[in-house]
Chains A and B, each alone.
Chain A
Amino acid sequence: MQIEHLLQLAADQLGVPVESITMESRWKEDLGADSASIMLMIMDMEDATGVTFDDEAITGMQTVGDAVAYLEAHMA
């Protein structure tokens, strides 16, 4: 799974241009996500990668980089 594909999933779910997303982007403050859209995006990423985020990872996830790092660490 390419990082570009994950960023595209996030862009589609949040309705923002993929070019505006960086690893440092904060989901809520920078990308305008609410808790529901973050969860939808997480579930899309889970479907795409087969990785399941645990509850602690979800609640602690602040930036795009947090999500990508979690996926990279747990993908086979």
Chain B
Amino acid sequence: MRIILDATGGDTPDVNLKGAIDALLAYEDITVVLAGPQDQLLDAINQMEATTRDRIGKRMEVLDAPEIITTDEHPVMALRQRPRSPFVLAANQLRNHEADAFVSAGSTGAFMASGLFYARCVPGVARPALGAMIPVPGRPLLLVDSGANVDCKPEWLHQFALMGSIYMKEVQQVSAPQVGLLNIGVEEVKGNELTQAVYKLLREEKQIVFAGNIEARDAIAGSCDVLVADGFAGNILIKNIEGTTSVLFGLIKKGLMSSLAGKIGALLCRGAFRNIKRSFDSSEVGGAPLLGVGGVMIKAHGNADAKTITSAIRQARTMVTADVVGKIRAGTAHEA
């Protein structure tokens, strides 16, 4: 199994090599192809400990991709101007079946555009969707789409529901994922023209278990396993969750540290706080799958550490092993 890793991606690109090494040591059935400037990568590999090199053997390769795309560039134009960037080279390899998966912590825009324009959608899928795992304690939630498509047609959201359901079955081992539709009320008639049309499509879809409309306040309360949204609303929801969580934890910390009694209380509760923090630990999750393209693509967070990169590679390996792409192709075949 060949997994291409964008060795230049993320805020601290050095973590990519460390994450790749840990993944190679953990899984003997994968080859990790580091995509980036060849000379730099070979230097870094040569500095690895000999024992580690021996254990990895020939399962670490280098794909020379000297052209870099940063997060502040127009993604599509940057891809066209730099065909030797990790994004274009990796997506082309997926399209040509020369690689099975691509993992990147780099530019989200370039990542999504490379999937749509170079890896291309599987037949029957109109647009790829970015799934985001929200670590809801006890019932992980997949939000799809979390930002790839800001303007959507009803049929696209119908496909997002199918793809999200397949992902949760095959990767998260949820036997019958409940699929909810993000809306501003639970009744069928609520929402805008888009959500009302999508509701009708999902209600009739036999391949999924439709849980109806879900309001944003119930989304992280364990109401469903897959939450379908257009990328505009989905992105607002996920950023709101991130922001609210951050502010809330900050307020709790500030409140506890403002008095001696609070500090003693915090000390007594630190085990509980640690457990809560662990349950929201995104480094265990890996990254966001770009569903619907002709290969496995995982977008890790820009501030990913080595553990997150290893998790994203593991996630890619799971998706390839479970043939998620093939199952999405089969699940949407009637729409081709």
Contact = CB atoms under 8 A, between A and B. Distances in A.
A34 B77 contact: no
Contact of A34 (B76, B80, B117, B151): B151
Interface in B172-205: none
Contacts of B77: 55
A17 to B, nearest CB: 17
A40 interface: yes
Nearest to A46: B80
Interface residues of B, number: 7
B162 to A, nearest CB: 18
Interface in A14-55: 34, 36, 39-40, 43, 55
A34 B116 CA distance: 13
A55 B116 CA distance: 19
Interface residues of A, number: 6
Nearest to B126: A15
A62 B193 CA distance: 28
Binding site secondary structure of chain A: helix
Contacts of A40: 116-117
Nearest to A54: B80
Interface string B56-89: 0000000000000000000011001000000000
Chain B CB within 10 Å, residue with most, of A34, A36, A39, A43? A36
B127 interface: yes
A39 B117 contact: yes
Nearest to A43: B117
Contacts of B151: 34
Nearest to A40: B117
A45 to B, nearest CB: 13
A43 B127 CA distance: 16
Interface string B151-168: 100000000000000000
B84 to A, nearest CB: 15
B74 to A, nearest CB: 10
Contacts of B76: 39
Contacts of A43: 117
Chain A CB within 10 Å, residue with most, of B80, B117, B151? B80
10 contacts: A34-B151, A36-B116, A36-B127, A39-B76, A39-B117, A40-B116, A40-B117, A43-B117, A55-B77, A55-B80
Given A39-B117, A40-B117, A55-B80, 7 more contacts: A34-B151, A36-B116, A36-B127, A39-B76, A40-B116, A43-B117, A55-B77
Closest 10 CB pairs of A and B: A43-B117, A55-B77, A39-B117, A39-B76, A36-B116, A40-B117, A34-B151, A36-B127, A40-B116, A55-B80
